[in-house]
Amino acid sequence: EAGVVQSPRYKIIEKKQPVAFWCNPISGHNTLYWYRQNLGQGPELLIRYENEEAVDDSQLPKDRFSAERLKGVDSTLKIQPAELGDSAVYLCASSLDGRVQETQYFGPGTRLLVL
């Protein structure tokens, strides 16, 4: 069974440019998470989807970040415009549903470097 797929794996852009990350969760998983992980830190939740509905986006910087999961499967996370401080690893995870007992399965992450 394929795990969580993310692309691209690496991205280097200049500040003020837009960037988008894509995530394909494990088939059948209704809950999808986007996290940001800075170097030496634990992951920080940006947004959580239950199917196509964003149920927790309280930590998403809405002035420049946006996300969508239109058909309740794949998701994209966009930053426009990117700032130097956005350099981090962006992790996508999925779980069968949003219950706390459910294991989250993480993708390999997209490493973003903003110059």
Partner 1 sequence: KNEVEQSPQNLTAQEGEFITINCSYSVGISALHWLQQHPGGGIVSLFMLSSGKKKHGRLIATINIQEKHSSLHITASHPRDSAVYICAVVRDTGNQFYFGTGTSLTVIP
Q: Which residues bind partner 1 (CB under 8 A)?
A: 3-4, 40-45, 48, 56, 91, 93, 98, 100-101, 103-109
User: Which strands form 19-24's sheet, in the order they lie side by side?
Assistant: 5-7, 19-24, 75-79, 65-68
Give the nearest distance from C-beta 16 to partner 1 in angstroms: 28
Give the nearest distance from C-beta 47 to partner 1 in angstroms: 12
Give the nearest distance from C-beta 55 to partner 1 in angstroms: 9
Nearer to partner 1, 14 or 44 (CB): 44
Taking a C-beta distance cutoff of 8 angstroms, is the pair 25, 85 a contact? no
Q: For 28-49, b where at least 16 C-beta lie within 10 A, e where not — what string?
A: ebbbbbbbbeeeeeebebbbbb
Burial degree of 27 (CB within 10 A; 0-12, 13-18, 19+): exposed
Nearer to partner 1, 13 or 45 (CB): 45
Nearer to partner 1, 57 or 81 (CB): 57
Nearer to partner 1, 70 or 100 (CB): 100
